[in-house]
Structure 1
Amino acid sequence: MGREAKNKNGIPVVIGGMVLDIHSIASTPLSLKTTTPGKNEFIPGGVARNIAECLSKLGTKSFMISALGCDLPGDILLQQWKSTGLPVAGIQQGSNITTASVSNVFDTDGELIAGIASVESIEKHVTPQWIRQFTSNVYSAPLVMVDANLTPEALQASCQMAADLDVPVWFEPVSVAKSKRIASIASHITFASPNEHELIAMANALTREDSFYPIQKDKTGASIEALFKELKPAILVLLQKGIKYVLVTLGPDGAILCSQSGPSCLRECLKNTCFDGKKELFDMVSSRCPAEEYSYSTPYKGGSQLLVIHFPALPALVGRVSGAGDCLVGGVIASLCSGLNIMQSVSVGIASAKAAIEVKYNVPEKYDLADIAANAGNVYNAAKILFLESRL
């Protein structure tokens, strides 16, 4: 009872990178080993920061734990953060810190071609000691989100703290290389959101073998069923290591939600929510995505059920794809924190990603909640069970 009372006004905690993104957009086809005409833009970024901004614009405040330097990039990021009205107490800023930055190169279609990340300051300064100062924030949070820019030690400290306080954790892999940091924390993770390449890397890290290989889509064809068949062994590794929900993001093919809790998991919500005096997202989405539509019960006893649901992507005019995955995660978390169930929340995540794809920023300047709810309804109604199997 005490925990629920303290969680009444809690907000999600987001731990990870705040990064200044340098976006270089070619105006003509890219040429190697020479310059290409185009333009350079400076955009607030970082996986954790993008997710937190998305949360805010969907009506859910969050508490950010990160680090910035006392330099021009750091001042730009901190000023933008303050303009949102979000708490700054968890953001360490010091003259000995060099603000993290990432340089991304995009082709004329807005597709990411290459990127260079300089994010060592996140690993160096977002330490277990810094994170533990905010135990009270984690205690009252409905959920903690960690990104893999953190060191294994910082990830372990964050996840252990959340586990001790009975707070669910969302793990965002960031990249193929950093996704392997799941190895020591999988048992503490409730949600993970890898793309297919990160999924393979995570499965290899968890088994300590290189028995899983990248999927060759030209061999599996366009079928979602065939793609899932290829990914299933790796997905099972993550689920068997204790991760409750694995949300595999597939770009233009949408996403697949996987759980061993069977159909009954589809009506599950977070134990604690944070309306912050606003219920627009909950009310709008509930009217478009009736919860009872997926109110399954499980007839099986004593075993688990592997359930896989496919959520289709929405048609979009591509402006920039760099923030779409982060906004998908932000949309799901904001929805869960508002009291929506996992089916409704993933549908909102897909709708949030569509809005992000169509702008040139990592996160849209504003979300139209009516449009988000309408698009979420389209995804929700088109979602289908891809696989259901009783596992004894």
Structure 2
Amino acid sequence: MESSVPALPSVLLKDGELKDVEAKPVIIGGMVLDIHATPSVPANPRTTTPGKVHYILGGVARNVAECMSKLGAKPYMISVVGLDMAGNLLLEHWKSAGLSLDVAAESGIPVWFEPVSVVKSKRVVSVVKHITFASPNEDELIAMANALSCGEVFSPIQKDNKKNKCSTESLFQMLRPAIWVLLEEGIKVVVVTLGSDGVLLCSNGAPGFMKGSSKGSNPHGSGNQLYRLVNSSCPPNRFFSASKFEGGSNLFAAHFPALPASVVRLTGAGDCLVGGALACICAGLNVMQSLAVGIAAAKAAVEVDTNVPTEYSLAKITDDAKSIYFATKMMFCQSML
């Protein structure tokens, strides 16, 4: 299980506003050394193939933490590594420290659960009551819903072929019953990643924390530049009308589109989406703004050959986030009864 714990004040979820404090995120999960082997010539069976091997710092939690740090956040990292070459390389790059998930739950601190894989996503059962945010892809969502339902209630979505690709609205309707299971179990926000189809943000009723900070300027030091750039490009009041949508028995959903990208590698994209969103939340931006930045950070990740870009251009990230933010569409529908 990969989990990240942004130390946000509990008032964020209760009153829809942020207190005048700087959040201290803690990332808990895997830190590994990825080995990328690329043949120099077409591979032939029963003989050696020349090529190149590259060591790349990886691990979902480590990628999330690195992405956050490059966007101005100062995350702590909790992980386990071996006393070997790989472990030494990782520790030289990042020193781990922090607190436990139990402490976070007892203190009312929001917890973000990143499922990582279909197998690991099933571990949600033991910690679901402590989770505020979850960010599964379609297959992980189905696995989580089945695990929480104690049976094979839901089946993986069988999409049409590329010539007859189903609409985002149709895909949402197919995923909706599984999403509702997670929300009924107490998860406040479900972020479903759809690859090139974008992202769905869902909650039980309109999320009260869309409003973000009530202050005109950001009090949080380390994310000040990110806050100013995003807040000026993505007006926080844009979705205020959606907050009029009331009723705890209704499913609220918003669709964030993906932007076209020159894809080099897909590894690390989802990690940077989570890292970008968390960096923004910790800087004082609201959830809608933060997710737009997360998608922009993911776009930058797929356009390089490392898990996390060597550096981020905040101006480019902000421009992409603005395009995503203003193309986001709200979807309202009655709950599953």
Report what 1:202 is aligned to.
144
Work out the CA distance in 2 between the residues paired with 1:206 and 1:287: 41
Work out the CA distance in 2 between the residues paired with 1:29 and 1:365: 30
User: Is 2:189 the counterpart of 1:245?
Assistant: yes
Work out the CA distance in 2 between the residues paired with 1:305 and 1:347: 24
Which of 170, 177, 191 is the aligned partner of 1:226? 170
Report what 1:21 is aligned to.
34
Which of 53, 59, 68 is the aligned partner of 1:40? 53
Equivalent position amino acid for 1:56 in 2 = S
Contact 1:247 1:258 in 2 (8 A): yes
**Residues matched between the structures, number:** 317
Q: What stretches of structure 1 move > 4 A for 4+ residues in a row?
A: 26-38, 297-302
Work out the CA distance in 1 between the residues paired with 2:145 and 2:86: 36
Which of 326, 343, 355 is the aligned partner of 2:288? 343
| Pair 230,36 (structure 1): closer, same or farther in 2 beyond 3 Å | farther
Deviation at 1:160, TM superposition (A): 3.0
Equivalent position amino acid for 2:199 in 1 = A
Report what 1:124 is aligned to.
none
| Pair 362,298 (structure 1): closer, same or farther in 2 beyond 3 Å | closer
| Pair 3,242 (structure 1): closer, same or farther in 2 beyond 3 Å | closer
User: Is 2:118 the counterpart of 1:173?
Assistant: no
List gaps (5 residues or longer) in structure 1.
82-87, 91-133, 136-157
Work out the CA distance in 2 between the residues paired with 1:171 and 1:362: 20
User: Is 2:273 the counterpart of 1:331?
Assistant: no
Q: Please report the RMSD computed on the Cα atoms of aligned residues, expressed in angstroms.
A: 2.7
| Pair 23,7 (structure 1): closer, same or farther in 2 beyond 3 Å | farther
Work out the CA distance in 2 between the residues paired with 1:301 and 1:208: 31
Identity over aligned pairs, percent: 53
> What are the equivalent positions in structure 2 for 1:80-95 lying under 5 Å apart?
80-81=93-94, 88=95, 90=97
Equivalent position amino acid for 1:62 in 2 = P
Secondary structure of 1:310's aligned partner: strand
List gaps (5 residues or longer) in structure 2.
1-8, 12-18
Equivalent position amino acid for 1:313 in 2 = A
TM-score normalised to structure 1 length: 0.74
Contact 2:23 2:220 in 1 (8 A): no
> What are the equivalent positions in structure 2 for 1:157-196 lying under 5 Å apart?
158-196=100-138
| Pair 35,207 (structure 1): closer, same or farther in 2 beyond 3 Å | farther
Secondary structure of 2:160's aligned partner: helix
Deviation at 1:67, TM superposition (A): 1.7
Which structure features the higher share of strand residues? 1
Work out the CA distance in 2 between the residues paired with 1:31 and 1:233: 47
Contact 1:264 1:295 in 2 (8 A): no
| Pair 26,267 (structure 1): closer, same or farther in 2 beyond 3 Å | farther
Deviation at 1:304, TM superposition (A): 3.3
**Which has the higher relative contact order, 1 or 2, with Cα contacts under 8 A spaced 6 or more apart?**
2
TM-score normalised to structure 2 length: 0.86
Work out the CA distance in 2 between the residues paired with 1:381 and 1:188: 32
